[in-house]
Amino acid sequence: MNMKYLTLTCMLTSVLGVWSPAQAQTKTLYVGMNGGTMEKNYTSGIFPDFEKANNVKVVVVPGTSSDIIAKMQAQKDKPQMHVVFLDDGVMYRAVNMNLCEKVKDTPVLKDLYPFARLANDQAVAVDMGVVGIGYNKKMFAEKGWPAPTSWMDFADPKYKQKVVFQSISSSTFGLYGFMMYNRLVGGTDKNVEPGFKKWPTSVGPNVLEYLSSSAKISEMIQTNEAAIFPLTVTAIANLKAKGIPAEFVTPKEGGVLLMVGACALKNNSEPDLSQKLIEYLLSVPAQTKGMEMAASIPVNRNVKLTEAAQAKLGGKTEVLTKNMNTIDWDAVNEKRTEWNNRWNRMVEQ
């Protein structure tokens, strides 16, 4: 080889670094999802394997489900995100707005619990939880109170100014708590009149604060402000892992199934890669990591809760999902804006 050419090649390599066609083809997928703990778990433990295997960079666009769906609507003609994670109720809204591409039919879909396949496979759950009653174990011990047993316990006068409730206009946990209360006072998912009518004289006087999210609950437990609140078994497990004296109970009327759904956006610039990411998120390795890192309940039936996960969550998947309530999201979403406005005007005024 000509020595002059060799010298020039070595100089360019030194300046530019080692270059390969693969590096030039690295793509980026933008994923809309909740920030905080969820973002940290996925970016540190779940996305890296997919990135490495597919020569892609996954970038999280953080926000609440309401934030993310607003971006989806604004960008529907030219999406800036490729895949989104949304609470199941908000996901049904996205599907009804025709914002989601149908999930590709791959073998892993047959491994899912049937209820994890959402809206005729327009979306799919990537993890699930159970919403029930969280309570301040330290306060209950100090007061000599027995553990709560019913959704109606939120109306017990002994909890006056000790209930912390999430707003139904911004929180699925709050909405679920209200919907279960509404059922117990004679309402249905299509008729919330009984709930709205009785709330101001039953649960209302007990509520210390209505929260826009659950982030503040850990602080309010530690300051002994919060006695009971709607929350998931997974969230309680994560609080307990931090040494916060929280405990979970499934009410006698049953908990409520909560899922985080994922879908690929219609008209996004990487449709094949987006579908491939969703397929990976449902796989045994990804579902196992989600269970181990976040104490989430796997949606893939081939992933069984480990003994450590069972200890955190309080039982096997079959136990946790027994006597489970679901919400009629089509009925709720039809009236959700009206209910939100009414709640903000009459309850949180």
Number of domains in the chain: 2
Position 8 in a domain: no
- Give, in degrees to the nearest 5, the angle at Cα 246 between 242 and 251: 140
Position 319 in a domain: no
Position 6 in a domain: no
CA dihedral 200, 93, 318, 247 (to 10 degrees): -40
Position 244 in a domain: yes
Residue 86's pLDDT is 95
Q: Considering only CA atoms, which of 328, 273, 343, 331 is closest in space to residue 56?
A: 273
Whether 211 contacts 175, CB under 8 Å: no
User: Which helix (H) or strand (E) covers residue 134, if one does?
Assistant: strand 123-136
Residue 296's pLDDT is 82
- pTM (predicted TM-score): 0.80
- pLDDT(15) > 50: no
Whether 242 contacts 221, CB under 8 Å: no
Residue 319's pLDDT is 66
> Mean pLDDT, to the nearest integer, of 157-180?
93
Residues 251, 336 within the same domain: yes
> Mean pLDDT, to the nearest integer, of 64-85?
95
pLDDT digits (tens, 9 = 90+) for 128-151: 889 999 999 999 999 999 999 999
- pLDDT(97) > 60: yes
Residue 196's pLDDT is 97
Amino acid at 171: S
Residues 161, 91 within the same domain: no
Residues 222, 137 within the same domain: yes
As a whole number of angstroms, the distance between CA 267 and CA 159 comes to 50
> Mean pLDDT, to the nearest integer, of 89-106?
96
- pLDDT(349) > 50: yes
Residue 6's pLDDT is 42
* Confidence grade of residue 3 (pLDDT, cut at 50, 70, 90): very low
> Mean pLDDT, to the nearest integer, of 6-27?
48
DSSP 348: -
Distance of CA 326 to CAs 153, 219, 292, Å?
20, 30, 26
Residues 339, 204 within the same domain: yes
Reduce the DSSP state of residue 48 to 3 states and report it.
helix
> Where is average pLDDT lowest: 35-39, 240-244, 280-284, 328-332?
35-39
Residue 131's pLDDT is 94
Residues 116, 216 within the same domain: no
> Mean pLDDT, to the nearest integer, of 334-340?
93
Residues 91, 155 within the same domain: no
Residues 67, 29 within the same domain: yes
Position 122 in a domain: yes
Cβ count near 318 (within 10 Å): 8
Cβ count near 83 (within 10 Å): 27
* Structural domain that includes position 74: 22-128+259-314
Residues 305, 332 within the same domain: no
Output the average pLDDT for the chain.
90
Position 9 in a domain: no
Residue 117's pLDDT is 96
As a whole number of angstroms, the distance between CA 244 and CA 54 comes to 39
Whether 128 contacts 301, CB under 8 Å: no
As a whole number of angstroms, the distance between CA 78 and CA 212 comes to 30
Residues 119, 243 within the same domain: no
Q: Considering only CA atoms, which of 299, 288, 171 is closest in space to residue 229?
A: 171
pLDDT digits (tens, 9 = 90+) for 249-278: 999 999 999 999 999 999 999 999 999 999
Position 2 in a domain: no
pLDDT digits (tens, 9 = 90+) for 173-230: 999 999 999 999 999 999 999 999 999 999 999 999 999 878 899 999 999 999 999 9
* Confidence grade of residue 5 (pLDDT, cut at 50, 70, 90): very low
- pLDDT(20) > 80: no
* Confidence grade of residue 66 (pLDDT, cut at 50, 70, 90): confident
Position 15 in a domain: no
As a whole number of angstroms, the distance between CA 228 and CA 212 comes to 16
pLDDT digits (tens, 9 = 90+) for 287-335: 999 998 877 889 999 998 888 888 877 777 776 777 789 999 989 999 9
CATH number of the domain that residue 208 is part of: 3.40.190.10
> Mean pLDDT, to the nearest integer, of 240-256?
94
Residues 194, 335 within the same domain: yes
Residues 69, 108 within the same domain: yes
- pLDDT(2) > 70: no
Residues 270, 203 within the same domain: no
